Chains A and B, each alone.
Chain A
Amino acid sequence: MSRHTTAPVLVADRVSVGYGRPPRHARAVLTGIDATLHAGELACLVGPNGAGKSTLLRSLARFQPLLAGDVRVDGVSIAGYTARDLARKIAVVLTDRVAAGQLRAYDVVALGRYPHTGWAGRLDRDDHAVVDRCLTDTGATHLADRPMSELSDGERQRIMIARALAQEPHALLLDEPSAFLDVRGRLELTTLLLSLTHDHGLAVLMSTHDLEHMMRHADQVWLVTGGGLRVGAPEDLGLDGSLQRALAGDAVFDPVTGAFQTGRRPTGRVRLIGDGATMHWTRRALDRAGYLAADDATIDVICVSGNGQPAWLLRGDGRQHTADSLAALVALLRRPD
């Protein structure tokens, strides 16, 4: 299976999104959007706060009308779907807090069968099988009998994604799903989304501020910039400076690590000697203290890692000190003398 030859699931064709009623009272936030989301692809929607990411997501999910253009899902304009049929194509995970504390996780996932059940909402055997499988796919089977109020943010997010999957959609839209998650929660979410796209062929579009995650895993970046949208591989957008211009402002985008740094100038230079993890963390401490590691510097910082207890030797300009922690090392460097 090649991800580049998969079918387009969601196509935005010269779309404008915004508020008000066209043509007279409309206030467009983003215009001229052309983008395609393919099956099996993870696309990340990035851009500064207030640039229109949520507006775009809401418009794609038909929560608000398009000001211009057309969005097609599986070849049919979203305007042509009934609410029920659209719910079988697109599922969403929102930032809305869910006031369903007394519902069990299983019941919440079962609500995802809404567009597939009759007026009474009765679940038949197949529906229950789908719910069970969605819980399995999201690794949430053990949460099924717990009330939503007892779940952590990460667990709740997992249940809301399982609920979206229970709609059996072709595309999944998520609005900042990692916003409230801790490091482990983010990693688990990434693993889950990659498995949904690459293993199960779902098309996923998520808005995020987590650039490291995006640079590493997104197949496509939808970059909101200057009232429009630029689409491309994360590396291409990094290389041609688009990411820097759209997101960084005064910050410095490091094209090597793909991370942003503050625009502060280094206050001094040191020659760093050492290896391994000690070296890595020492470099970070120096960076924080405002020191750049350079081979031609007159001050040496030597990492000594004898008998498992790291220590640091600061030498140069006629002085010599030892530090038994990085905090002490930073304090030494900052001490004026």
Chain B
Amino acid sequence: MISPSSLTSPAERVTPPPAGDGRGRRVVGSRQAAVLTVLAVLAVLSFLATLAWGSVAIPLGDVVAILGGEEASRRTWEAIVMDLRLPRAITAVFAGVATALAGLVMQTLFRNALAEPYVLGVTSGASLGVGLVLLPQGATAGLGAALLAAFAPLASIGVVAAAAIGALAVLLLMSAVAARVQNLVIVLVAGIMVSAFLTAIVNVLVFFARPEAVVAFTAWQFGTFQGVTMAQLPVLGGTVALGVLLLALSTKQLNASLLGERYAQSMGMSVRRLRLLAMASTALLAGAVTAFAGPIAFLGIAAPHLARGLLGSADHRVLIPGTALVGAVVALAAGVFAQLPGTDAVLPLNAALALIGAPVVLRVLLRLNRTGAGFTV
């Protein structure tokens, strides 16, 4: 009798020549290495541009000098770069990387090209948290005021904490759903329902709130990279780093789930563990960004598609760094654009993101479609 293991035990047969022309084994192809390099260079350039451009243009030489701890040509430039633009640039990098990666995880987990952190209700949770803090301010009369007054004590929590608590609460709820429900589509629809429910509450609050409070809330909804201080950056950075770490640890599972949950399960993957890991990392990534920079839309859905198209791969070992770089580049570029260099005017960040991002993404996707590159999640 031939034992079944003779089929595959390595010592039994002479190793056949590598598959194809031998490229099969390589994780990162030459095209992908080139794309990643270009993206990294672009990220550095747009980081420097963020420091150099704004209402005041500072020569790159001076920017580099200031970063190096040397004297700049003008004293005020040092304050502008170190106190204003550096935190903004770092925030943009964190926010870009985090939102893009959170989108990638959601798309892979749900095997849905339209999935992003918001479909889980994360942003709605954060919005409600922030709404409960900002909207009751100054309410005086009527039934609505009585309703809002009940939440007034929440104002002491602060916007960041409120957003974080809101996002976390929704994610705990959704994790409970994901652990119980087998069908992922139901989880997806449940997230959208939770999101709609929470948004409705926010709308009621907005309806009864005073105009000044609504303006403050709307400003938060526009998103910004400017609100984070140097002291807050380690908190944002640490949370994002933890989320990225969880994601990196699930690379193998994410790749396996490209074949679908049942195949992944049949190869020894714990579906429940991946769901919880993916949702925890999304909570950390999207929750931290929403808390500090507001609901950054668009990047979560666009960056993974852009990275897949540019890299021509669905393999998370190259997609994770690729998506992170795309997210950073787009966020930095949008940040620069939002400052409208050379003017004093500032655009809402989310508007800037979509204004420059959407045409770029559209163009890349249409070109890929024309060249016939396979495009799936």
Give A residues with C-beta under 8 Å from B: 1, 5-7, 9, 39-40, 61, 63, 82-88, 90-92, 94, 96, 98-104, 106-108, 111-112, 114-115, 117, 119-121, 123, 126, 128-137, 141-142, 144-145, 147-150, 165-170, 196, 199-203
Contact = CB atoms under 8 A, between A and B. Distances in A.
B1 A7 contact: yes
Interface string B7-49: 1101001011111110111000000000000000000000000
A121 B263 contact: no
B111 A99 contact: yes
A203 B2 CA distance: 12
B267 A111 contact: yes
B362 interface: no
Interface of B: 1-8, 10, 13, 15-21, 23-25, 111, 249, 251-252, 255-256, 258-260, 262-270, 308, 312-315, 374-377
A103 B258 contact: yes
Contacts of A92: 262-263, 266
Contacts, number: 167
A112 B263 CA distance: 10
Contacts of B259: 96, 98, 100, 108, 111
Nearest to B18: A132
Contacts of B270: 83
Contact of B1 (A1, A114, A168): A1
SS class of chain B's interface: helix, strand, loop or mixed?
Answer: loop
A94 B263 CA distance: 8
Contacts of A148: 374
B181 to A, nearest CB: 15
Contact of A63 (B23, B252, B265): B265
A91 B5 CA distance: 14
A91 B266 contact: yes
Given A87-B267, A92-B266, A144-B24, A40 B2 contact: yes
Nearest to B24: A106
A199 B13 CA distance: 14
14 contacts: A7-B1, A61-B266, A63-B266, A87-B267, A92-B266, A103-B313, A114-B268, A114-B269, A117-B252, A137-B7, A141-B19, A144-B24, A145-B21, A201-B1
B28 to A, nearest CB: 12
B307 to A, nearest CB: 11
A86 B263 CA distance: 13
Contacts of A119: 249, 252
A120 B252 contact: yes
List the 4 shortest-distance A-B pairs measured between CB atoms, nearest first. A149-B374, A121-B252, A144-B19, A87-B268
A99 B376 contact: yes
A123 B376 CA distance: 25
Nearest to B248: A120
Contacts of B3: 39, 201
A106 B19 contact: yes
B313 A102 contact: yes
B8 A133 contact: yes
Nearest to B25: A128
A144 B20 contact: yes
Contacts of B376: 99-102, 149
B263 A96 contact: yes
A203 B1 CA distance: 13
A203 to B, nearest CB: 7
Given A99-B377, A102-B375, A114-B264, 16 more contacts: A5-B1, A87-B266, A87-B267, A94-B262, A98-B260, A101-B376, A102-B315, A114-B267, A115-B267, A123-B25, A132-B15, A141-B19, A144-B24, A170-B5, A201-B1, A202-B4
B243 to A, nearest CB: 18
B84 to A, nearest CB: 40
Nearest to A148: B374
A9 B4 contact: yes
Nearest to A94: B262
A145 B24 contact: yes
B268 A200 contact: no
Given A114-B252, A150-B374, A200 B6 contact: yes
